[in-house]
Amino acid sequence: MRLRKTVQRTPIVLVVDDTPANLTLMRNILEPQSYKVLLATSGEKALELLTKVTPDLIMLDIMMPGIDGFETLTRLKKIPSAKDIPVIFVTAKTAVSDIVRGFELGAVDYITKPIQRLEALARTKVHLKIQHLIHIERIQSEQIKAIINNISDCVLVSNKNGAIESVNPATEHLFGYCENILCHKNIAELLDYQGRPTDFIDVLLNHDSGDAWWQHPNGKNVKGKTFPIEINVREMYTHDPCFVIVIQDISLHRHEIDQLHHLTETDPLTNINNRRHFEILFAQSWQHCKRSNQMISVLFLDVDHFKSFNDDYGHQAGDSCLQAIATALFTSLSRGVDSVSRYGGEEFVAILPDTDNAGARKVAQIMLEAIEQLNIPHKHSKYGHITISIGVATCDYDADHTRIKSAKALLKLADKALYDAKAMGRNRVEHL
């Protein structure tokens, strides 16, 4: 990411010296270089000037009447707006103890008198450059901090054990803890994860390692409420290993996906599975039963004389009839693994995994009776009400795989059994 560029203004240099000739000399050296030069003839005047302007560099004479350069430097470091301005002291003193004292008081460099033009210029340029770089770094660091503090994603920094070291306000908001408490927690405590916290960064970094948690990662807030998240972890290569963890609450996104799934899987009229979803479920159930050597049964169901029902009672009544039938078929199933889907028109299909033919016929009989009990009048039925016919087929893969080679073949058998049920008078169950 490229951050906003900072505007570079003309550098201001403040020269402090009690000798006017030295001030003139420094101005003649610096002004041709496009620096703005401010002059002060004493420490006191320099300190007064610093309450009004903030130069980028100060050249400070040591030997001055009144307060000397060392004292001026000491007082200058106590002015908040001036304490970070680099100071080069200018001295005729060349004793090591004086030079050391200048550095100890916070000066960044020194030049000796008599002033050499090229040396003064070179040192000025170097320290203005350093000051400019520090300024850019500070602005960029403030910009990054502002971005992290204002983004809606949670940004956390942890050590290699997952102990949280810093967080942004979005993290406090999402998890409901204040920063102080978060910084005494392990990242694993914010996630709905059962493993050992000490391994957690490894789990986060190696999310393709097959850990089941990654299929649907969840966060956990202060109230223990869990919510779906997306989580990314990157190692930061600093002097101590640390990790940047970005967490995004995807509750809304997950809800939209769930709604979309529901729409693509559900028949809008009857609110049970549609044919498309049946095809997927049937293929999955077939593969599962084949792998685990279980039997699988399928029921093909058709509403008897439905065309004449529509002709006599109208399509609205036909729709209501199909809705009532779908609900009755659905409530006839007692196990979560069983399913019933609208196959098309007035045809329905049920999948019963791990169920033998006798068990499937029992379920079919319950469905037949459930439809009878609806007691929907139908004057063209010899029973006087709506009925259904059901064909049952079962596959025991080990025994039947030469006869029933695919899920499609099993469905075809159930369809054939349904044909038999129709041929034998309807309102009955036939099996193959």
**Residue ranges binding Mg ion (CB under 5 A):** 18, 61, 63-64
DSSP codes joined into one string, 151-207: -SSEEEEEETT-BEEEE-HHHHHHH---HHHHTTSBGGGGBT--S-GGGHHHHHHTT
64's tokens: 């001055």
Q: How far is the CB of 143 from Mg ion (least distance, A)?
A: 43
For Mg ion, the nearest residue by Cβ is 63
Residue 114 or 336 having the CB closest to Mg ion: 114
Residue 22 or 274 having the CB closest to Mg ion: 22
304's tokens: 């008897």
Residue 17 or 267 having the CB closest to Mg ion: 17
Q: How far is the CB of 25 from Mg ion (least distance, A)?
A: 13
Q: How far is the CB of 90 from Mg ion (least distance, A)?
A: 8
Name residue, tokens 């809800």: 255
Is 71 a catalytic site residue?
A: no
Q: In what helix (H) or strand (E) does residue 273 lie, and over which residues does it extend?
A: none
Positive or negative torsion for Cα 67, 68, 74, 79? positive
Query: Pick the catalytic residue: 44, 71, 119, 346?
Result: 346
**How far, in Å, CA of 301 to CA of 414, rounded?**
9
Residue 63 or 151 having the CB closest to Mg ion: 63
169's tokens: 């306000």
Q: Residues, the chain, total? A: 432
Torsion of Cα atoms, 276 then 279 then 280 then 284, to 10°: 170
DSSP 73: H
Strands 347-353 and 339-344: antiparallel
Q: How far is the CB of 61 from Mg ion (least distance, A)?
A: 4
Contacts for 196 with CB less than 8 Å, ≥ 6 apart: 188
**How far, in Å, CA of 383 to CA of 387, rounded?**
8
18's tokens: 């009690």
Picking from 186, 182, 185, the residue whose alpha carbon sits closest to that of residue 200 is: 186
Residue 75 or 135 having the CB closest to Mg ion: 75
Residue 37 or 64 having the CB closest to Mg ion: 64
Positive or negative torsion for Cα 206, 210, 215, 216? negative
Residue 64 or 395 having the CB closest to Mg ion: 64
Strands 164-167 and 154-159: antiparallel
CB atoms within 10 A of CB 164: 22
Q: How far is the CB of 112 from Mg ion (least distance, A)?
A: 13
Torsion of Cα atoms, 338 then 344 then 347 then 348, to 10°: 10
Name residue, tokens 């084949």: 290
**How far, in Å, CA of 365 to CA of 171, rounded?**
56
Residue 69 or 162 having the CB closest to Mg ion: 69
As annotated, the active-site residues are: 346
